Amino acid sequence: MRRFFVALIAAFTFVAAPLAVHAKDNVYQSFFGSAISGTDPVAYFTEGRPVEGSSDFKHDWNGATWRFASAENRDLFAASPEKYAPQYGGFCAFGVTMNKKFDTDPTAWHIRGDKLYLNLNKDVQKKWVTDIPGYIETAQTNWVDIKGLTEEQIEKVYD
């Protein structure tokens, strides 16, 4: 029986991993479709920190379901999603400078010029802050080319 559960978990992982990011969507999503791992994007601006969103306060935008800590945050986002949504669809901003779509850690974030940028982790964020304007310039250019591509397509073109 134990062997069955191990095999079941392995099969689920094998099937679920490629589904974590949907090619047709240009937003980093968890397996269950929550944008930026269910973190409230408005809270970065209003509270200055990442806050877990609730399934009670959701809004669908840009092919993903966004979660919010409150109805007020949901309504702010719905009125102006481009103002609050992270750049590069919530993929790692530094990764985009390398033509990659990496996951992000909601605690590795930075607001620059009223725009939210997320990074893979705190170590990558340390590199990102060494030249934010230069990295943003590169990422802006690269995002235009990789935005609608899957990881496999990106690898074929850029690796």
Q: What is the pLDDT of residue 81?
A: 98
Predicted confidence (pLDDT) at residue 12 exceeds the cutoff of 60: no
Predicted confidence (pLDDT) at residue 13 exceeds the cutoff of 60: no
Predicted confidence (pLDDT) at residue 2 exceeds the cutoff of 60: no
| Stronger pLDDT, 42 or 20, i.e. the higher one | 42
The average confidence (pLDDT) of the chain is: 87
Distance (Å) of CA 3 to CA 9, 14, 15, 16: 10, 16, 18, 20
Q: What is the pLDDT of residues 55-86, one digit of tens each?
A: 999 999 999 999 999 999 999 999 999 999 99
Q: What is the pLDDT of residue 157?
A: 87
Q: What is the pLDDT of residue 55?
A: 95
Q: What is the pLDDT of residue 25?
A: 53
Q: What is the pTM of this model?
A: 0.83
Q: What mean pLDDT is predicted for residues 19-36?
A: 69
Contacts of 122 (CB under 8 A, 6+ apart): 105, 107, 108
Q: What mean pLDDT is predicted for residues 30-43?
A: 90
